[in-house]
Amino acid sequence: MSTDSAAKPAADATAEPRDFVRQIVRDDLASGRQAAIRTRFPPEPNGYLHIGHAKAICLSFGIAREFGGWCNLRLDDTNPGKENPEFVEGIKEDVRWLGYDWHELRHASDYFEVFYRAAVKLIEDGVAYVDDLDAEQVRAYRGTLTEPGRNSPFRDRSVAENLDLFRRMRAGEFDDGSKTLRAKIDMAAGNINLRDPALYRIRKVTHQNTGDAWPIYPMYDFAHALSDALEGITHSLCTLEFEDHRPLYDWCVDKVDLPNHPELWQPLIDAGLPTTPAKPRQIEFSRLNLSYCITSKRKLAQLVNEGHVDGWDDPRMNTLRGLRRRGFTPAGLRLLIERVGISKQNSVIDYAVLEGCIREDLDATSPRRMAVLDPLKLVVTNLPADHEETLAFANHPKDESFGTRDVPFSPQVWIEREDFAEVPPKGFKRLIPGGEVRLRGVGIVKCEEVIKDADGHVTELHVTLDPESRHGLPGADRKVKGTIHWVSAKHAVDTEVRLYDRLFSVPAPDDESDGQPWTAHINPEAKRITRGWLEPAAAGAAAEQRFQFERIGYFVADRVDHRPDAPVFNRIVTLRDTWAKQAGA
Ligand code: ATP
Ligand code: MG
């Protein structure tokens, strides 16, 4: 059984990426517009990271690393109630697992006092006002894509009145939703984001970091732009849906003008948070979309909450922790992101591309082991029943640096049931009655007798071993068509095997145009639990150790449940793409 070609470049060894974002960064450095590169990755801690986030992480952290700059991890925690410290820890762990580390860990909530002062400045400058319209009225005044909006009747309040009302909003005097602070921009702007967007809302909700200190919370566009500016971010990289928000982002950065107003960020200096504000540039790129995947945190949460999966780290989930538990490698995921590239073009990447990247990395990095998942007993009758020997097997067929291991052999072994056929299909190269096959590393055996139970079910094969065909002897080169793997029955270790496959059985589970809810496309075959026999060297694996089980696939010792005395292995991916055939490709 062959694996992926070794001729392909190994993971991480490909050419330097040259996408449009890196070109902008290069130009900014060359022209002296920027002296150093500073980026950030700003997840909202309202769920665990998913495969889509891997693209944003690899881009922002990757660019910082490649150009000798730094990248912050910033938790965008401006939505109390939905956010949770458990997710914060998970996000940190997942970013590190992908192979990156941050310069500083920041929270948008670190800046609440600065945002507040900035809002007061905007009121004083006459470019923000307190509005009494409720959410529904605001919507009615906003206009549409084809019609301009109308000014709120509260738009022309005096600076003094606005300052008074905003201070009282901050003091908690008003009810949730009864007032907002809005930017005074242009209700007729073609870009609806510029029609006096809200900057602050009243929400009397306890915040996981700031407790009950704030009854008002900043809106995303305001908080995000100012957070970037405060951290001195040079290139703020985000996905295309923020393109229409860029004018507002720039408006916030320009109107607040942090670099020239140190009194606004003095609280950070006092709190020991180093601060050198700058004017960041937002650049948008297309999201990563993968077939057979869901990349909405809301839907991923639904899968967990409705019990469709066993948790956020279920190996069927395309969360980073799910992929990790499944056995996917950080290098394989980075390879995917590199292959997909960075552009402004929206597209859907075939899940097979991801599996291909994982296989490619695993082929290069996984030691080989033997395991039998559907066992049939094979007895070598011309060896003494108590015969035992230790064979030395190479751990990797293409890389000697993996060394060798001891594999115990005895005359009773397990082979895969499918490696024997009483009535062979056309082209069958493995064992048949009276036929020969090579027992990997042992020699050539001939099937002399097929033992069956009363129902005619094959229970055992009796074979003879050609002593001349054993390793190191002149007859060892004798050709037979097939080679099969085995595990010595006496030494085999019983293992649980979890056979995972794609969670959805259709390429676009999100597409509900067929009238079915997306959850109807969950693949019932995506998890099958079975048992198997392992050679001893596999059973002793550490959690998260990955192997190629020869001729079967790539497997990982389960991160949570595996123990050497009670092994549990997850199938990471089969050796070949089994979906292309089903799709008729
Ligand atoms: P969701 O819509 O599922 O809640 P989100 O995009 O809002 O996800 P955030 O936590 O706000 O999640 O995302 C953090 C960063 O990751 C953002 O800058 C966002 O642009 C980026 N990101 C999210 N999904 C993808 C994706 N599929 N491809 C690339 N980048 C993504
Ligand atoms: Mg978001």
When the candidates are 2.60.40.3120, 3.30.9.10, 2.40.240.10, 2.60.40.10, the CATH number that belongs to 297-327+495-584 is 2.40.240.10
- Which residue CA neighbors atom 26 of ligand 1 most closely? 52
Rounded to 5°, angle at Cα 189 from 184 and 194: 50
Using a 10 angstrom Cβ sphere, with 0-12 exposed, 13-18 middle and 19 or more buried, the burial of residue 247 is middle
- The CATH topology of domain 2-290 is Rossmann fold (3.40.50)
Q: Decide whether any atom of ligand 1 lies within 6 Å of the 302 Cβ.
A: no
Token pair of 285, please? Answer: 């790129």
44 CA → ligand 2 middle, Å: 6
Q: Decide whether any atom of ligand 1 lies within 6 Å of the 287 Cβ.
A: yes
Rounded to 5°, angle at Cα 424 from 418 and 426: 115
27 CA → ligand 1 middle, Å: 27
- Would the annotation count 55 as a binding residue? yes
pLDDT tens digit sequence for 369-399: 999 999 999 999 999 999 999 999 999 999 9
Per the CB < 8 A criterion, the answer to whether 464 and 382 are in contact is yes
Token pair of 447, please? Answer: 């099937």
- Of the residues 19, 40, 41, 53, which should be mutated to test ligand 1's pocket, given the most ligand atoms within 8 Å of the CB? 53
SS3 label, residue 166? helix
All residues at 6 or more sequence positions from 354 whose CB lies less than 8 Å from its CB, including other chains: 51, 290, 332, 333, 336
pLDDT tens digit sequence for 162-173: 999 999 999 999
pLDDT, residue 585, reads 40
Residues 562-574: what's their mean pLDDT? 96
- Would the annotation count 50 as a binding residue? yes
- Would the annotation count 76 as a binding residue? yes
Pairing of strands 289-290, 348-349: parallel
Look-up of token digits 């059985």? 505
Per the CB < 8 A criterion, the answer to whether 266 and 121 are in contact is no
324: Cα separation from own chain's centroid: 8
- Would the annotation count 287 as a binding residue? yes
Q: Which helix (H) or strand (E) holds 405?
A: strand 404-409
Domain regions of the chain by residue span? 2-290, 297-327+495-584, 368-491
- Which residue CA neighbors atom 25 of ligand 1 most closely? 52
Domains 297-327+495-584 and 368-491 equal at CATH topology level: yes
Ligand positioned closest to the Cα atom of 88? 1
Instruction: Give which of 503, 477, 481, 533 is closest to 351, Cα–Cα.
Output: 503
SS3 label, residue 223? helix
pLDDT surpasses 90 at 303: yes
221 CA → ligand 1 middle, Å: 15
pLDDT surpasses 90 at 6: no
Ligand positioned closest to the Cα atom of 287? 1
Q: What is the largest CA-CA distance in the chain?
A: 102
- Would the annotation count 45 as a binding residue? yes
| CATH annotation of 368-491 | 2.40.240.10
CA distance between the termini of the chain? 22
Q: Decide whether any atom of ligand 1 lies within 6 Å of the 90 Cβ.
A: no
Residue ranges of the alpha helices (H) in 279-319?
A: 297-305
Show which residues are catalytic: 44, 287, 297
- Which residue CA neighbors atom 29 of ligand 1 most closely? 287
pLDDT tens digit sequence for 412-465: 999 999 999 999 999 999 999 999 999 999 999 999 999 999 999 999 999 999
> What mean pLDDT value characterizes the chain?
95
pLDDT surpasses 50 at 11: no
Q: Decide whether any atom of ligand 1 lies within 6 Å of the 56 Cβ.
A: yes
Per the CB < 8 A criterion, the answer to whether 405 and 393 are in contact is yes
pLDDT tier, 2 (very low <50, low <70, confident <90, very high otherwise): very low
Report field, pTM of the whole predicted structure over 0.75 = yes
Instruction: Give which of 429, 420, 428 is closest to 379, Cα–Cα.
Output: 420
pLDDT tens digit sequence for 14-58: 567 789 999 999 999 999 999 999 999 999 999 999 999 999 999
Ligand positioned closest to the Cα atom of 45? 1
Instruction: Strand 436-439: give its sheet, edge to edge.
Output: 483-484, 436-439, 443-452, 458-465, 375-380, 412-416, 487-488
Rounded to 5°, angle at Cα 142 from 139 and 143: 115
All residues at 6 or more sequence positions from 157 whose CB lies less than 8 Å from its CB, including other chains: 129, 130, 165
pLDDT tens digit sequence for 141-183: 999 999 999 999 999 999 999 999 999 999 999 999 999 999 9
Q: Decide whether any atom of ligand 1 lies within 6 Å of the 510 Cβ.
A: no
In whole angstroms, give the CA distance from residue 323 to residue 449: 45
